[in-house]
């Protein structure tokens, strides 16, 4: 186990290095093609050359390589790596530290992740298990048809219909009947409320979870079908074990590896923030933060957020790999 963990950590470090370098190249070429992003600091004002030079130096954009199309700018890349190793991810255009911004936004994305994951597990596990157990019957066909229907409906359409068609009348009615701080009113509030962060992400999280549950339903169904007629399941049944015991401990558990992988992926997606969901619903999370950073051309913030998300993604994937052994005793790392 120790050698496997060390190998995965080294692979993760190499992957992170490549991600940071690729991100550096993309942003460098974007600056060379589109001009100095420090201009976004001044908004509609036209800065003097001295002002522009001062802001460029502040954000590390004063290197001459940014004016040479095709230059990979290795010097700024090395400087950025040194800053990352010291825990400095830079500041945004307003001078606020990126780590502080992320520390404020990440909990909201984590709350969204909890709702999304709960929806995935309840809907995906229940419907996927039911479809596998009723394979070839009307229930199975109905569940698969339901998953295709969900796939065909983009999540942003669901969110826009929910926000502009459903929430406005329901929120207005609930506010009159129960008050603006009532649970029903907050649950259907059209936008995120920082004073009640958990309640106001429940419905968006459920919608996002439903949108992603279609693939999860099919994944659970396929994984469990592989185990229904396997040797270890027939052996368990021949011992006289109850069907419920066989299903829970021999079918569901041994089908959980792809499920664990999917949960790991949805965790990183939630931290990456379901950009559309958080942008439409005005949720101040990682996705909303990235949405605003792209809109404001805040290059430093974009690079810092993506780098932190890459670190989280690699750590989560390593933990998911280690979880495999706990779910399936047949897996050994040595």
Per-domain residue ranges of the chain: 2-85, 103-327
Q: Which two tokens stand for residue 295?
A: 């809109």
**Distance separating alpha carbons of residues 285 and 278, to the nearest angstrom:** 7
**Distance separating alpha carbons of residues 314 and 11, to the nearest angstrom:** 9
> Rg of the chain's alpha carbons, rounded to an integer?
24
- Other CB atoms within a 10 A radius of the CB of residue 229 amount to 8
pTM for the whole structure: 0.70
Rounded to the nearest integer, the mean pLDDT of the chain is 78
pLDDT tens-digit series, residues 277-293: 777 777 888 777 877 78
Q: State residue 274's pLDDT score.
A: 67
Overall average pLDDT of the 114-133 stretch: 82
Overall average pLDDT of the 303-329 stretch: 76
272 pLDDT band, cuts 50/70/90, is low
Q: State residue 231's pLDDT score.
A: 67
pLDDT tens-digit series, residues 28-66: 887 878 777 777 667 667 777 787 777 777 777 777 888
Q: Which two tokens stand for residue 253?
A: 């558990």
Are the C-beta atoms of 320 and 267 separated by less than 8 Å? no
Overall average pLDDT of the 177-195 stretch: 84
Q: State residue 276's pLDDT score.
A: 74
Could you identify the residue written with the tokens 């605003």?
292
CATH 1.10.3720.10 corresponds to the domain 103-327:
yes
Of 96, 92, 60, 64, nearest to 78 by C-alpha is 60
For 97, phi and psi rounded to 5 degrees?
Answer: -65, 135
């Amino acid at each position: 186990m120790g050698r496997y963990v060390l190998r995965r950590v080294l692979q993760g470090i190499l992957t992170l290095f490549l991600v940071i370098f690729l991100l550096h190249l993309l942003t460098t070429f974007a600056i060379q093609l589109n001009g100095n992003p420090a201009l976004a600091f001044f908004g509609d004002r036209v800065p003097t050359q001295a002002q522009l030079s001062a802001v460029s130096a502040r954000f590390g954009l004063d290197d001459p390589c940014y004016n040479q199309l095709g230059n990979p700018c290795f010097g700024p890349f090395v400087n950025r790596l040194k800053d990352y190793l010291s825990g400095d991810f830079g500041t945004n255009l307003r001078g606020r530290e990126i780590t502080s911004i992320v520390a404020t936004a990440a909990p909201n994305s984590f709350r969204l992740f909890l709702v999304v994951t709960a929806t995935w597990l309840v809907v995906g596990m229940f419907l996927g298990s039911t479809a596998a157990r009723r394979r070839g019957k009307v229930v199975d066909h109905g569940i698969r048809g339901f998953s295709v229907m969900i796939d065909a409906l983009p999540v942003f359409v669901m969110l826009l219909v929910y926000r502009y068609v459903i929430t406005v009348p329901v929120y207005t009615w609930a506010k009159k009947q129960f008050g603006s701080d009532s649970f029903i009113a907050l649950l259907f509030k059209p936008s995120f409320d920082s004073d009640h962060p958990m309640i106001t992400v429940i419905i968006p999280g459920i919608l996002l979870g439903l949108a992603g549950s279609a693939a999860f339903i099919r994944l659970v169904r396929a994984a469990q079908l592989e185990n229904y007629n396997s040797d270890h399941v027939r052996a368990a049944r021949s011992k006289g074990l109850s069907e419920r015991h066989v299903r829970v401990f021999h079918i569901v558990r041994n089908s959980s590896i792809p499920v664990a992988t999917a949960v790991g992926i949805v965790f990183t997606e939630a931290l990456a923030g379901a950009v559309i969901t958080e942008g439409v619903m005005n949720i101040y999370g990682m996705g909303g933060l990235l949405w605003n950073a792209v809109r404001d051309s805040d290059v430093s913030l974009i690079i810092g957020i993506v780098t932190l998300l890459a670190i989280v993604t690699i750590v989560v994937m390593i933990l998911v790999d280690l979880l495999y052994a706990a779910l399936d005793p047949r897996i050994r790392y040595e």
